[in-house]
Structure 1
Amino acid sequence: MLLLFIDRSFTVPSFDVQVKLGRGNMEIELEQGWEIIERGITRLKNILEGLPEPKFSSTNYMELYTTVYNMCTQKPHDYSQQLYDRYRESIEDYINSMVLPSLREKHDEFMPRELVKRWENHKVLVRWLSHIFHYLDPEFIPRRSLLPLREVGFICFRNLVYHAFYRDLRVWVLSLIDQEREGEEIDRALLKNVVDIFVEIGMGRMDCYDNDLEAAMLKATAVYYSRKASNWILEDSCPDYLFKVEECLKREKDRVSHSLHSRSEPKLLEKVQNELLSLHENQLLENKDSGLHVLLRDDMVDDLSRMFRLFSRLRYGLETVADLFRQHVTGEGTALVKQAEDAASNKKCLSEPDSVGLQVFVRKVIELHDKYLAYVSDCFQNHTLFHKALKEAFEIFCNKGVSGSSSAELLATFCDNILKKGGSEKLSDEAIEETLEKVVKVLAYISDKDLFAEFYRKKLARRLLFDKSANDDHERSILTKLKQQCGGQFTSKMEGMVTDLTLARENQTSFEEYLGNNANANPGIDLTVTVLTTGFWPSYKSFDLNLPVEMVKCVEVFREFYQTKTKHRKITWIYSLGTCNLIGKFEPKTMELIVTTYQASALLLFNTADRLSYSEIMAQLNLTDDDVVRLLHSLSCAKYKILIKDPNTKTISPTDSFEFNTKFTDKMRRIKIPLPPVDEKKKVIEDVDKDRRYAIDASIVRIMKSRKTLCHQPLVMECVAQLGRMFKPDIKAIKKRIEDLISRDYLERDKDNPNLFRYLA
């Protein structure tokens, strides 16, 4: 007994019945049974052909199924093999008699339409017959290792129909694709159905699609776009060409989704990219009238974004774009350097200072960085290649000096101009914060960060000590940014300086309380002392200035006060940093003079003398020639002539003599008399060089202590890598420090190999 399973994919109407089959008493002969089956198959074929036939019911189906079942299960005459063969023969007969003739009489687009129709009918026929002959599939076919019924049916179509027509079909497909590429309307549904034949005829494998259609389609695509590219590259600008390329890629992708198999998309797009982009890459990017340089110059953001999107598809496309981007930025930056150099040279010819011009140069560098960083972010999607290119470009021109000033010095001066009171940069608080952020970003490209740190520290000291800092919050803010960029060691001294000033204010408050509580200790002069920690601040010259008697008592009073707080610290007075407010009683009017401690000491000498010579002033003050020349020049030869010099020349000489100018006057009642500025650049550079020697020594010892033995080249390279964050060490300097460490018994050379060093514990 057998319970029949009715397959829901079968197109004949199903009935909710259970049919029990059993082997009858009468044996069915082959021809007798086949005649029944053949009649049913003929009816099915007629239905497919649209001929008038009664409805094929489940009863008709069960009769055929039962006949096949009985012919396969009766003993001893099992006709399974014969039925398997005749199944194939019946399909082949239908193809030869009905399908092929109908196809051969069709031409142009009617042939593919007919083929699609015949393929759909064939699938229905195979499904019907597979159900009728179903008993062969689970029993007979596996036992004999034969092909399944469905596969046999498809192979018949492939061998008889597909192989005869696929070439014509391929020509038609390629023609239709070309028509659509040229903007003509096509029957996309028909194209999709035809392409599906190439896919489905492989029965799970893509050989037919790949070999019989896709290979030719890719070749035709290359030819088509090669022809297009040859015309476009001559006619269009780079932006117009790239716009067309992007549109072509979009249309090809759309074509795949509507008409082709999805596996063709990457190969098809690669062909288009190769013909339109790869083969014309340099010609497009380096076009002098509309290439990458022009797009960057003219701020053509949309076109740059499109260029990035397109060239990112190519294997090495972005490397080429990034390299040209680097060249362009380098050229722009180098032009700024040359422009600043030329401007500085012109100023020198006119004997005018060019500090403003150099500040403008730094501002332009920052603006240049803003511009191209925006390109990297917005157009190039923050791709690492473009960040690297931007970094390399800025490192090239940012480390070039301008008019004898290094970039480190210029950047430190720029910061000073922003942060000090009365600077030329008049910015809001938000603009200052934003500018400081940008300065720190530019600092990342400077190799001599230690030089910047020393220049910045010098200028920070002057802002803090002379109350020139515009805003304490901004001072702390940039230190935080520098710390994040360069590390805690970079800003530790600067942070200590800011902290010192806070503590100094508290200390001054305590001193004033001390004076209030000790009436005998009051020196009679308002005194403000700023106590600094030696290690944080730049080194300053300390001379034993012979203070005027009025000031001596001030110093003694503060020393006594400070000893009440701590007895283990030594106070060293830096008079060169001091300022004094003197009351000058001139004949026209009394005026307040804001001067340095040196200037005040010199002027107070004239309270007890009407006329003093250069040598007398020098001896009484106990200062060097340079300092005496500077302070006397500021008092007698500069804007405010508090002293009258004899002879009346513009230079100070040891034979000069001076007397107080009682007739001096000015429209202001309070004037500041500055000392001529001292060029501290040389001192800063010397200090940095000294620190670098210590840093190289420490690095070499640190490396050798961990390695014990190391050859010369690896030692040098590792030393460069360790120190690279702060400065770029000179190879010759490293070699010199190695020799010095050997002489000091930190290292020794191997006796057999002079390039091998050993660490001496």
Structure 2
Amino acid sequence: MAEGGVVIDQDERWDLLQEGIMELKNILEGLPEQQFSTEHYLMLYSIIFNMCTQRDPQDYPQQLYDKYRESFEEYIASTVLPALREKHDEFMLRELVKRWANHKIMVRWMSHSFQYLERYFIRRMSLPSLNVVGLTCFLELVYKKINGKVRDAVISLIDQDREGKHIDRALLKNVLDIFVEIGMDCYENDFESAMLKDTSSYYSRKASNWILEDSLPDYMLKAEECLKREEEKVAQYLHSSSVPKLLEKVQHELLSVYANQLLEKEHSGCHALLRDDKVEDLSRMFRLFSKIPRGLHLVSSIFKQHVTTEGMALLKLAEDEVSNKKAEKRDIVGILEQVFVWKVIDLQDKYLAYVNEHFQNHSLFHKALKEAFEVFYDKGVAGGSIAELLASICDNILKKGKSGILSEEAIEETLEKVVKLFVYISDKDLFAEFYRKKLARRLLFDKSANDDHERFILTKLRKQCGGQFTSKMERMVADLTLAKENEASFEKYLSSNPNADPGIDLTVTVLTAGSWPSDKSFDLNLPAEMIRCVEVFKDFYQTKTKHRKLTWIHSLGTCNVSGKFEPKTMELIVTTYQASVLLLFNSTDRLSYSEIMTQLNLSDDDVTRLLCSLSCAMYKILNKEPNTKSISSTDYFEFNSKFTDKMMRIKIPLPPVDEKKKVIEDVDKDRRYAIDASIVRIMKSRKKLGYEMLVMECVKQLVFKPDVKTIKKQIEALISRDFLERDKDDFHSLKYLA
């Protein structure tokens, strides 16, 4: 048969093929060989082509396929394995890298030469490809026999690297690339699992020594450095898939195993870092413990305990200060503002900055901070609630006179801080009611320093709690603006209607019913002078609208009364009720307690308070018989014509009324309504629900922190009112009655 113009018999073909393969082996071994020429390569290709295509009784394609595999097997057995077996440790690794590189060259060259066999025979017979056969030979004859030694040598070098010794990292990468190229299963099963086990053992030994010797900051520095070095290893020679597994092992041994012991170290643990403001160490602690399961839960729990302890200490100091100052009869709210509230605000600012800056604004720490404040907030201070105290402080800031002490920016900044504290109050509805009461006093008696500040804090509260929370308060502020317009209209009405003269100067503030706190609206028997004023204003108001009813709240009214005493005439600033009492003495010199009560149509409590303010307090406008310090129903009163004072204009206050009880009663009533509505809403959607589950659902829905006993009481009330009934088949379940 002719090959390239030359006749070559069958035996010669095999000899030429064998010579070509041997030449390649010699080249790989570094023996001096002449490189293949193009003509030589084409001749070998043609030999294989003809052996695959000729019609001959012998099965040449199969023989060629077997020859291809046998060439690798013979080369590995005679040359590769002996070379690897005679070397150890790092030298063995270098030899392996060399032999793998040579093997890949041999596979590439042989595959090119046998290319037609691949197309003509292998694909048609669905046999493993030439590349696969070459790889399989190395896997079966080399890798499986030495991978254990290779793995141990690699792990030994990695441990040396961890100890800071100089190693050939490029060599490690080349060796580990062999595992990857052979197959990721080989990398993971034959190397990675053992490497991870060794990593655990290595860092377990290190951690057991460090935990005894080092403080928490020193330990964390070492742990952080170890993690950094392990990440560098991955970038330099390990496969990227090893990153999470390797770091998880290191984190587990260095952090998870000793988490509680580390955080609770006596003189250097988390409490000490917080106490001593070690912000850099706290940031590092957050970074490290965020890497382990529930690590941040442990840190945030200690953070919560620490903040709670500091808050309780402030509470104790405030209680002690109030106890010491009570004997001096000083302003308790003012004391608490200085010794408690501003210190709590500083506490909040400090630890909120910790959360935002050093704990990366993590929600877990925001939750811990909120819960810590709620612990001591719910305890109250000096016998009162924090809700009442914050409302009183806002009142002090917003009253006239404060603007002369603080700048506009300082007032807004202070109000914003108070609102931040308000966030932690569980009884937000109680704060709202106290605040609304005080807001009403400021607005009605013109004690508010600045409308912009009033709107500023309402905007902040609305942002925290929603529009429904501040709707009534915003309406109150708006009412005052409308009231001023109404006053201007009334003055214009009086000037254009001479017959509508009320006889005295009159200012009426019209408010929206329902938005303002409820006050007594008894049918006070007004003096004739005042009746005329009321009638004139009614006539005016009917010209504006005929669909609204005016309800007069005389308990909120004030009067300027001219008192003609023998020494001099003085102007008395009094309430409408006080003025009504004084005007009775224009027509008589002496009145009994019962006569005054009858003529004014007031209750015993109100009459007692009024007469006490006029006859038993600082300004004795009335003389009382008998001359005692308390009011009795048998007392008699006369106008004190000899009364005098160095001032020409004096304000006569009423004895203070403890509004706290009424506010709490009003809030409790509103809460019962809210609980009823919540229960009905839940049952209407669920139709049937277990008793305890209903209680839990109700607690979740309510914006305040309800008393479980109250919820159960309201459930029983709804059962008695036929909104609910107990399930006859399950006594512990309730059913909704449509």
Task: Pick which of 272-281 and 40-49 moved more.
Answer: 40-49
- Residue 150 of structure 1 deviates from its aligned partner by 2.4
Separation in structure 1 between the aligned mates of residue 23 and residue 376 of structure 2, nearest angstrom: 88
- 1:578 alignment counterpart: 557
Separation in structure 1 between the aligned mates of residue 175 and residue 726 of structure 2, nearest angstrom: 81
Per-residue CA deviation, residues 695-714 of structure 1 (Å, 9 max, x unaligned), is 33334444445555555444
Separation in structure 2 between the aligned mates of residue 143 and residue 157 of structure 1, nearest angstrom: 25
- Residue 512 of structure 1 deviates from its aligned partner by 0.4
Contact 1:242 1:306 (C-alpha < 8 Å) held by counterparts = yes
Separation in structure 1 between the aligned mates of residue 711 and residue 81 of structure 2, nearest angstrom: 88
Separation in structure 2 between the aligned mates of residue 101 and residue 500 of structure 1, nearest angstrom: 101
Contact 2:333 2:389 (C-alpha < 8 Å) held by counterparts = no
- Residue 444 of structure 1 deviates from its aligned partner by 4.0
The one-letter code sitting in structure 2 at the alignment partner of 1:688 is V
Task: Pick which of 230-239 and 454-463 moved more.
Answer: 230-239
- 2:215 alignment counterpart: 237
- Residue 272 of structure 1 deviates from its aligned partner by 0.4
The 3-state SS of whatever aligns with 1:290 is coil
Separation in structure 2 between the aligned mates of residue 51 and residue 753 of structure 1, nearest angstrom: 95
- 2:109 alignment counterpart: 128
- Taking a change above 3 Å as real, the CA distance of residues 25 and 707 of structure 1, as seen in their structure-2 partners, is same
- Taking a change above 3 Å as real, the CA distance of residues 166 and 718 of structure 1, as seen in their structure-2 partners, is closer
Task: Pick which of 99-108 and 148-157 moved more.
Answer: 99-108
Separation in structure 1 between the aligned mates of residue 259 and residue 355 of structure 2, nearest angstrom: 20
Separation in structure 1 between the aligned mates of residue 209 and residue 481 of structure 2, nearest angstrom: 73
Per-residue CA deviation, residues 48-102 of structure 1 (Å, 9 max, x unaligned), is 3333333322222112222222223223144233333333333333334443444
The 3-state SS of whatever aligns with 2:337 is helix
Say whether residues 1:286 and 2:286 are aligned partners: no
Paired residue for 2:672, among 683, 688, 693? 693
Per-residue CA deviation, residues 231-256 of structure 1 (Å, 9 max, x unaligned), is 22222221222222122112111111
Contact 1:614 1:658 (C-alpha < 8 Å) held by counterparts = no
- Residue 192 of structure 1 deviates from its aligned partner by 1.1
- Taking a change above 3 Å as real, the CA distance of residues 185 and 669 of structure 1, as seen in their structure-2 partners, is farther
- Residue 507 of structure 1 deviates from its aligned partner by 1.3
Separation in structure 1 between the aligned mates of residue 83 and residue 232 of structure 2, nearest angstrom: 34
Contact 2:558 2:573 (C-alpha < 8 Å) held by counterparts = yes
Separation in structure 1 between the aligned mates of residue 737 and residue 127 of structure 2, nearest angstrom: 84
Say whether residues 1:660 and 2:640 are aligned partners: yes
Contact 1:333 1:397 (C-alpha < 8 Å) held by counterparts = yes
Say whether residues 1:277 and 2:255 are aligned partners: yes
Say whether residues 1:504 and 2:472 are aligned partners: no
Per-residue CA deviation, residues 450-483 of structure 1 (Å, 9 max, x unaligned), is 2222212111111111112222223233333433
1:200-349 equivalences in 2 (<5 Å) = 200=181, 202=182, 205-349=183-327
- 2:94 alignment counterpart: 113
- 1:682 alignment counterpart: 661
1:99-110 equivalences in 2 (<5 Å) = 99-107=80-88, 109-110=90-91
5+ residue gaps, structure 1, are 1-20
The one-letter code sitting in structure 1 at the alignment partner of 2:294 is Y
Contact 2:388 2:431 (C-alpha < 8 Å) held by counterparts = yes
Contact 2:3 2:43 (C-alpha < 8 Å) held by counterparts = no
Per-residue CA deviation, residues 611-631 of structure 1 (Å, 9 max, x unaligned), is 766666556555444434434
Say whether residues 1:180 and 2:161 are aligned partners: yes
Say whether residues 1:86 and 2:71 are aligned partners: no
Separation in structure 1 between the aligned mates of residue 417 and residue 655 of structure 2, nearest angstrom: 33
Paired residue for 1:60, among 33, 40, 54? 40
- Taking a change above 3 Å as real, the CA distance of residues 751 and 175 of structure 1, as seen in their structure-2 partners, is closer
Paired residue for 1:419, among 398, 413, 435? 398
Per-residue CA deviation, residues 659-679 of structure 1 (Å, 9 max, x unaligned), is 53646333x554433323211
- Taking a change above 3 Å as real, the CA distance of residues 695 and 158 of structure 1, as seen in their structure-2 partners, is closer
- 1:387 alignment counterpart: 366
- Residue 259 of structure 1 deviates from its aligned partner by 0.9
Paired residue for 1:199, among 175, 180, 197? 180
The one-letter code sitting in structure 2 at the alignment partner of 1:276 is L
- Taking a change above 3 Å as real, the CA distance of residues 753 and 432 of structure 1, as seen in their structure-2 partners, is same
The one-letter code sitting in structure 1 at the alignment partner of 2:163 is E
The 3-state SS of whatever aligns with 2:382 is coil
Per-residue CA deviation, residues 339-385 of structure 1 (Å, 9 max, x unaligned), is 33333333335544421233343333344333333333333333333
Separation in structure 2 between the aligned mates of residue 696 and residue 103 of structure 1, nearest angstrom: 83
1:716-731 equivalences in 2 (<5 Å) = 716-722=695-701, 724-725=702-703, 727-731=704-708
- 1:44 alignment counterpart: 24
- Residue 151 of structure 1 deviates from its aligned partner by 2.7
The 3-state SS of whatever aligns with 1:277 is helix
- Residue 528 of structure 1 deviates from its aligned partner by 0.8
- Taking a change above 3 Å as real, the CA distance of residues 217 and 754 of structure 1, as seen in their structure-2 partners, is closer
Paired residue for 1:531, among 506, 510, 521? 510
Per-residue CA deviation, residues 303-348 of structure 1 (Å, 9 max, x unaligned), is 3332222222222222222333333333333333333333333333
Per-residue CA deviation, residues 121-175 of structure 1 (Å, 9 max, x unaligned), is 2211221122112222223334455433223333333444434543343333222
Per-residue CA deviation, residues 547-582 of structure 1 (Å, 9 max, x unaligned), is 444434323322332233334444332222122234
The 3-state SS of whatever aligns with 2:318 is helix
Contact 2:560 2:571 (C-alpha < 8 Å) held by counterparts = yes
The one-letter code sitting in structure 2 at the alignment partner of 1:248 is C
Separation in structure 2 between the aligned mates of residue 59 and residue 24 of structure 1, nearest angstrom: 13
- 1:407 alignment counterpart: 386
- Residue 524 of structure 1 deviates from its aligned partner by 3.9
The one-letter code sitting in structure 2 at the alignment partner of 1:86 is K
The one-letter code sitting in structure 2 at the alignment partner of 1:179 is Q
- Taking a change above 3 Å as real, the CA distance of residues 171 and 694 of structure 1, as seen in their structure-2 partners, is closer
The one-letter code sitting in structure 2 at the alignment partner of 1:731 is V
Separation in structure 2 between the aligned mates of residue 213 and residue 757 of structure 1, nearest angstrom: 63
TM-score by length of structure 2 reads: 0.90
The one-letter code sitting in structure 1 at the alignment partner of 2:41 is Y
- 1:29 alignment counterpart: 10
- Taking a change above 3 Å as real, the CA distance of residues 462 and 103 of structure 1, as seen in their structure-2 partners, is same
Separation in structure 2 between the aligned mates of residue 719 and residue 190 of structure 1, nearest angstrom: 67
Contact 1:606 1:660 (C-alpha < 8 Å) held by counterparts = no
- Residue 504 of structure 1 deviates from its aligned partner by 1.4
RMSD: 3.2
- Residue 419 of structure 1 deviates from its aligned partner by 2.4
5+ residue gaps, structure 2, are none
The 3-state SS of whatever aligns with 1:186 is coil
- Taking a change above 3 Å as real, the CA distance of residues 661 and 647 of structure 1, as seen in their structure-2 partners, is farther
Per-residue CA deviation, residues 704-734 of structure 1 (Å, 9 max, x unaligned), is 4555555544444444343x11x33333333
Say whether residues 1:447 and 2:426 are aligned partners: yes
TM-score by length of structure 1 reads: 0.87
The 3-state SS of whatever aligns with 1:595 is strand
Separation in structure 2 between the aligned mates of residue 420 and residue 671 of structure 1, nearest angstrom: 20
Contact 2:345 2:421 (C-alpha < 8 Å) held by counterparts = yes
Contact 2:176 2:238 (C-alpha < 8 Å) held by counterparts = yes
- Taking a change above 3 Å as real, the CA distance of residues 136 and 711 of structure 1, as seen in their structure-2 partners, is same
The one-letter code sitting in structure 1 at the alignment partner of 2:192 is E
Paired residue for 2:709, among 717, 729, 732? 732
Separation in structure 1 between the aligned mates of residue 655 and residue 373 of structure 2, nearest angstrom: 36
